Amino acid sequence: MNARNELKEIFFKTKRLISASEEMGLEPPMLPKGALDFMEKPVSKNPALPSKRSGASEKAAPQIPAPETQTITPAAQQFDSLEDLRAHMGDCRRCDLHNGRKHLVFGEGDPKARLVFVGEGPGFDEDREGRPFVGKSGQLLTRIIEKGMGLTRESVYICNVVKCRPPGNRDPNPDEIRVCLPFLKAQLSIIRPDVICALGRVACQALMGGDFKITRHRGEWRTYEGIPLMPTFHPAYLLRNASAKRPVWDDVKSIMGKLGLEVK
């Protein structure tokens, strides 16, 4: 039994003792009024308790998930398949993004894909169709996959960090990412691709940490849970910046090399 549970046990035994004493007409144990009140409060709010991470800054401390998110915890082994995971998500309302969505955009492609593309979230067209990357930037991604890499969309897997469209296509906020990210992680754990291609800053930071700078580090191989990860620009950025096409093509060729595909 850990210290917290021991304290709880003592607390409830003491309460029972007080109740029993009162019921039997005996004097309760001598305890000042309110002496046990602190036990009703969350332990984390008790400043007297030393932190296990006393050397860590408050910023670095792990965030405690909101109660609703504690039910997500999709460790991949919990799910046999992407279908199981999707069924678990149901009509997800775990974050505010469900308010404005038409469709939850789970992801699509080969569940055994060797290559997974991860974007940041659905846009207008994706929300309307319920499919990832079908708007203008999606069409560019499809051209990269089909004309550039010689693959088909169906042979890869495409998904996003958040599964519902942020209003006005804004970036998903940290809370929304924190709540939805376990679903992406579960998808990646189920698929276990040979390569992940993270598209844009939001996807890169979600998978590699908030300080990742896409402009500085795109094109540098990283790993996510042991899987090689290539960070590159989002196709939407390519549509606005023609000069980014060359570096992205370099990244795509690097991915093809990693997958053993012939670069033409």
Query: Which position has the token pair 């999707």?
Result: 86
Query: Which position has the token pair 């088909």?
Result: 152
Which one of the spans 12-20, 22-30, 157-165, 208-216 is the region binding ligand SF4 (CB under 6 A)?
Answer: 157-165
Asked if 85 interacts with ligand SF4 (CB under 6 A), we say: no
CB of 160 to ligand SF4, least distance (A): 9
CA-based torsion, 175, 176, 177, 179: positive or negative? positive
CB atoms within 10 A of CB 180: 25
| CA–CA distances in Å: residue 164 to residues 59, 168, 178, 201, 237 | 28, 12, 13, 18, 20
Asked if 94 interacts with ligand SF4 (CB under 6 A), we say: yes
Asked if 185 interacts with ligand SF4 (CB under 6 A), we say: no
Six token digits for residue 181: 């990210």
On whether the CB atoms of residues 1 and 9 are closer than 8 A, the answer is yes
Which one of the spans 52-60, 87-95, 146-154, 225-233 is the region binding ligand SF4 (CB under 6 A)?
Answer: 87-95
Query: Which position has the token pair 């800053």?
Result: 201
On whether the CB atoms of residues 208 and 235 are closer than 8 A, the answer is no
d(CA 85, CA 78): 9
Total residues contacting ligand SF4 (rule CB under 6 A)? 14
Which one of the spans 44-52, 85-93, 133-141, 255-263 is the region binding ligand SF4 (CB under 6 A)?
Answer: 85-93
Asked if 159 interacts with ligand SF4 (CB under 6 A), we say: no
CB of 172 to ligand SF4, least distance (A): 7
For ligand SF4, the binding residue among 93, 136, 213, 240 (CB under 6 A) is 93
Nearer to ligand SF4 by C-beta: 94 or 234? Answer: 94
Nearer to ligand SF4 by C-beta: 183 or 233? Answer: 183
Asked if 161 interacts with ligand SF4 (CB under 6 A), we say: no
